C-alpha cells in the first residue's frame, strides 16, 4: 500500500483513502479542503498515487469472486442495513456536506435523501436481476437469459453532490454483484469517506467498496487499468468526453454524464407567480451548482418577459444568502474561491457582451463571513444566443432571460443548443405541453416542474453533449450498465436414441 504511517501533516487533518475495508493514511501531495462560508482551510486531502489506486483495484478484484457468488437476497440484506445506517447518521453526513460544499442544510438533506432512494431501489435486487425463460424453443430445447456482473467497476464523481451522485452508482453496481472503486471530488471528500465506513458496518465484505481520493493521476489509472471493466462519470462536458474516449479506447463500458444549459420555457398563459417562484428555486438553489439548474428562462412574448423579469427582480431582493448552517438562508456560498472568481467573471463577460444586468450580486458581502465565497443572485435580461453567457455552462447563481416570439422559436433555441440535459415548460395549455414533451430534443423534461430529476425507479440522463454513452444513470438502465446478459440454450436428448448429424443451420421449423 502506498501510504505513509508517519505523516508530515497531522493525520486528523488529512483525509486518506478507504481500501479493502480500512482507512488508509496518506500524505501524498495533500491539497487543502476549505469551508466555503469562511474561506478557512479545515483539513487536507491526499492525492492518491498510481500505486495506491492499483491497490484499491487489486482489493476489488480479489473480493469479486466471492461477492459475485453471493446470493442476491443476501446482497439485499446488506443494502437494507446500509440504508438504515445512512438514515441513522444523516445529520452527521449532511453537516459534512454543508461544511465542505457550502449548500444550505435543508438542501444538503434533500440531496442525501435522494441518494438513499437509490439504495432503497437496490434493496430490490433479487427481483431486478430476474432473467427470462422460454421452455421448448425447439425440440426438447429450453432457453433462458440471465444478468451477470462485470467485475471491478469504478465511479468518478463531482463536487456538487458529494453524497447523492456516488449513490447513483455504487449501490446498484454492488447490488448487481460487482465490486467498486470510487474517486470522489477532492473538494468535499468527507461525506464519501463516512458513507464507506457505514457500508462496512452494514456487513459489506472488505474490498467490495473502495474510495480513493485523487486527481488526474487517479482518474487516468482507473481509465487505463485493464482490471476495471466499466466507468461511470458525472462532471463537465470536456472531461466527460475525455473519460468516454479514453475509457472506450481501453475496452471499457463507459457512461459519462456531462454539462448542461437547462432552459425553462415560460408561455404567456403560465401562472407567472408560481412560475417565478419555481425559477427562483431552480436557478438559485444550491447556488446554481446543479447540472439540472435552470440557467435560461425563455419567455414567449415581450409582455411575458417584462412581467417575469420584474417579478424575479423583486424576489431577488428578498433572497437570503449566507452560511449554509443557518437554515433561514436560501443560498450559501460557491464551493471554492477559484470557482467563485470564474462565475463572477461570467457576470463581467455578460455585461461586456451587452446583456442587461438587472440584478447584480457581485459585490455581496455576508456579515461575519467576509472571507467566504459568496456571490449574490444575478439576473440578465435580453440575452441572445450568440453570447457566451448563453452558450456556456456557468454553474453559479446566474439566470439569463431570453425573449422568444413563439413556442416554436423557444423550442428551436433549445434544440440548437449543444447541451440536452434537462428542460421544462410552464403553461396551462395541455396541447402546448404535450407537443413540447413529444418533440423537444432533451433527455429530461418537466411540465410545470422546474427540476425534472427522475426518481430512483426511473433513470437520469441527457441527450446530445450532455451524455456520452448509451445508458442513463441509476434506475432500470443501471441494471443494463452494470451487468452482461448471457443467454443459455440447453437440450437433453432422449436416452438411447442415436441422432444423425445435422449440417443445415438449426431452425425452429
pLDDT tens sequence across 100-134: 999 999 999 999 999 999 999 999 999 999 999 99
- How far is it, in rounded angstroms, from Cα 393 to Cα 422? 13
Q: Which three cell numbers stand for residue 319?
A: 433572497
Residue 429: exposure state from Cβ atoms within 10 A (0-12, 13-18, ≥19): middle
SS (H, E, C) 186-247: CCCCHHHHHHHHHHHHCCCCCCCEEECCCCHHHHHHHHHCCCEEEEEEECCHHHHHHHHHHH
pLDDT tens sequence across 136-172: 988 889 999 999 999 999 999 999 999 999 999 999 9
User: What are the structural domains of the chain?
Assistant: 11-258+466-487 (3.40.605.10), 262-447 (3.40.309.10)
Q: How much is the pLDDT for 2?
A: 41
Residue owning grid cell 455585461: 351
- How far is it, in rounded angstroms, from Cα 405 to Cα 382? 13
Q: How much is the pLDDT for 505?
A: 82
pLDDT tens sequence across 200-221: 999 999 999 999 999 999 999 9
Report pTM.
0.94
- How far is it, in rounded angstroms, from Cα 43 to Cα 303? 51
Any idea which residues carry the catalytic annotation? 291
Does 10 score more than 50 pLDDT? no
Where does the pLDDT of residue 499 fall: very low under 50, low under 70, confident under 90, or very high at 90 and above?
A: confident
CB 298 within 8 A of CB 404: yes
Residue owning grid cell 425573449: 403
CB 255 within 8 A of CB 472: yes
- How far is it, in rounded angstroms, from Cα 401 to Cα 19? 47
Where does the pLDDT of residue 306 fall: very low under 50, low under 70, confident under 90, or very high at 90 and above?
A: very high
CA atoms within a 13 Å half-sphere pointing along the CA-CB vector of 435 = 11
SS (H, E, C) 330-383: CECCCCCHHHHHHHHHHHHHHHHHCCEEEECCCCCCCCCCCCCCCCCCEEEECC
CA distances from 285 to 106, 215, 226, 294, 472 (A): 11, 28, 40, 10, 24
Dihedral through CA 227, CA 229, CA 235, CA 236, nearest 10? 90
Amino acid at each position: 500500500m502506498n501510504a505513509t504511517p508517519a505523516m508530515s501533516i497531522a493525520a486528523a487533518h488529512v483525509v486518506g483513502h478507504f481500501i479493502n475495508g480500512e482507512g488508509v493514511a496518506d500524505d501524498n501531495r495533500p491539497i487543502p479542503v476549505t469551508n466555503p462560508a469562511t474561506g478557512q482551510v479545515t483539513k487536507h486531502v491526499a492525492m492518491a498515487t498510481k500505486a495506491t489506486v492499483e491497490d484499491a483495484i487489486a482489493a476489488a478484484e480479489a473480493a469479486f469472486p466471492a461477492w459475485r457468488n453471493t446470493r442476491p437476497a443476501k446482497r439485499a440484506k446488506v443494502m437494507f442495513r446500509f440504508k438504515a445506517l445512512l438514515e441513522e447518521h444523516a445529520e452527521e453526513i449532511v453537516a459534512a456536506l454543508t461544511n465542505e460544499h457550502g449548500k444550505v442544510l435543508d438542501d444538503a438533506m434533500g440531496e442525501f435523501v435522494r441518494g438513499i432512494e437509490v439504495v432503497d431501489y437496490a434493496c430490490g435486487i433479487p427481483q431486478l436481476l430476474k432473467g427470462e425463460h422460454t421452455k421448448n424453443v425447439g425440440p426438447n430445447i429450453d432457453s433462458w437469459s440471465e444478468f451477470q456482473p462485470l467485475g471491478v467497476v469504478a465511479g468518478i464523481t463531482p463536487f456538487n453532490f458529494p453524497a447523492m451522485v456516488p449513490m447513483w452508482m455504487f449501490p446498484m453496481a454492488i447490488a448487481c454483484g460487482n465490486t467498486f472503486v470510487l474517486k470522489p471530488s477532492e473538494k468535499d471528500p468527507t461525506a464519501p469517506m463516512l458513507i464507506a465506513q457505514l457500508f462496512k458496518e452494514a456487513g459489506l465484505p472488505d474490498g467490495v467498496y473502495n474510495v480513493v481520493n485523487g486527481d488526474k493521476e487517479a482518474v487516468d489509472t482507473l481509465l487505463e487499468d485493464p482490471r476495471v471493466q466499466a466507468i461511470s462519470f458525472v462532471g463537465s462536458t470536456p472531461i466527460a468526453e475525455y473519460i468516454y474516449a479514453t475509457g472506450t479506447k481501453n475496452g471499457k463500458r463507459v457512461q459519462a454524464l456531462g454539462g448542461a444549459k437547462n432552459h425553462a420555457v415560460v408561455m404567456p398563459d403560465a401562472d407567472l407567480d408560481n412560475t417565478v417562484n419555481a425559477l427562483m428555486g431552480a436557478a438559485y438553489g444550491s447556488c446554481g451548482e446543479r447540472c439540472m439548474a435552470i440557467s435560461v428562462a425563455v419567455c414567449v412574448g415581450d409582455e411575458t418577459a417584462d412581467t417575469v423579469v420584474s417579478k424575479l427582480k423583486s424576489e431577488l431582493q428578498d433572497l437570503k444568502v449566507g452560511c449554509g448552517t443557518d437554515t433561514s438562508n436560501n443560498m450559501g456560498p460557491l464551493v471554492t474561491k477559484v470557482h467563485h472568481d470564474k462565475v463572477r467573471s461570467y457576470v463581467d463577460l455578460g455585461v461586456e457582451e451587452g446583456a442587461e444586468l438587472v440584478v447584480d450580486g457581485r459585490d455581496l458581502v455576508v456579515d461575519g463571513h467576509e472571507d467566504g465565497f459568496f456571490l449574490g443572485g444575478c439576473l440578465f435580461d435580453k440575452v441572445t444566443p450568440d453570447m457566451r453567457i448563453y452558450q456556456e455552462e456557468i454553474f453559479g447563481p446566474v439566470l439569463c432571460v431570453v425573449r422568444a416570439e413563439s413556442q416554436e422559436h423557444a423550442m428551436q433555441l433549445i434544440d440548437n443548443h449543444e447541451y440536452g440535459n434537462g428542460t421544462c415548460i410552464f403553461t396551462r395549455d395541455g396541447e402546448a405541453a404535450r407537443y413540447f414533451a413529444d418533440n423537444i430534443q432533451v433527455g429530461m423534461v418537466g411540465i410545470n416542474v422546474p427540476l425534472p430529476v427522475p426518481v430512483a425507479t426511473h433513470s437520469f440522463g441527457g441527450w446530445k453533449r450532455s451524455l456520452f454513452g448509451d445508458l442513463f444513470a441509476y434506475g432500470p438502465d443501471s441494471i443494463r450498465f452494470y451487468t452482461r446478459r448471457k443467454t443459455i440454450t440447453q437440450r437433453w436428448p432422449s436416452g438411447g436414441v442415436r441422432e444423425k448429424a445435422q449440417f443445415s443451420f438449426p431452425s425452429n421449423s
